[in-house]
Amino acid sequence: MRHLSRRQFLASSSTAVAAAALAPRSFASPNETLRIAVTGVRGRGLQHVEGLLAQKNLEIAAICDVNSNIIDKAMKLIEAKQGKKPAFHQDFRKLIEDKSLDAVSIATSNHTHAMLAIWALQAGKHVYVEKPVSHTIWEGRKLVEAVRKYGKICQTGTQSRSYPGFQEAIRFLQEGKLGKVKVARAVLQPASQHRPYRG
């Protein structure tokens, strides 16, 4: 991962995408530390932790998860890298009361993404939120409205277009090697058939 200026997004890879979320504000010094919280630290959220720990001038100051039984791995990773444990919150509303936090990374259950992102924006934080951003168009529009109203940056992860295989397929299509595309179909799996998330 390359390190960009504090006035640009922090770069990320497909496995450390959370770092891309944390758009900097105006800092008094380019060496000032960006303070971030990670919300939901099982599965994808743990990858956020790993990616953020690889960044310069950045501190994971807090983690948040409703399940205190699964935070140990994240806590140990952060303490080993930063020399101290981050603050821990079970209640996201308490987390965002911390005025010293610059940004929040959200990797909680899908149905909570839009709500938590809006709350964080209202509290003056920049936001990285995992996909899906919302379950409905209305939720998504409310999130966009919050970004505009509170003047913060919100980014979401759609890394598929960054994968070499997808890029190669798009080039193949754009170069006309597939021929003229007349029909495209998408399949939406019924909610009743979704496999349970096992993190």
Range of the domain at 131: 17-160
In-domain check, residue 174: no
Distance of CA 8 to the CA centre of its chain: 16
Number of folded domains that form the chain: 1
Structure confidence at residue 120 (pLDDT): 97
Contact 128, 157 (CB under 8 A): yes
In-domain check, residue 131: yes
The per-residue pLDDT string of the chain (199 residues; one tens digit each, 9 = 90 and over) reads 334 333 333 334 333 444 444 544 444 455 688 999 999 999 889 999 999 999 889 999 999 999 999 999 999 999 999 999 999 999 999 999 999 999 999 999 989 999 999 999 999 999 999 988 998 889 999 999 999 999 999 998 777 777 888 889 889 989 999 898 889 888 876 655 545 444 3
In-domain check, residue 147: yes
Residue 133 sits in a domain whose CATH number is: 3.40.50.720
Structure confidence at residue 177 (pLDDT): 93
Structure confidence at residue 6 (pLDDT): 37
In-domain check, residue 6: no
In-domain check, residue 177: no
In-domain check, residue 72: yes
> How many CA atoms are closer than 13 Å to the CA of 13, on its beta-carbon side?
10
AA identity, residue 135? H
Of 18, 7, 14, 11, nearest in space to 127 by CA: 18
In-domain check, residue 48: yes
In-domain check, residue 183: no
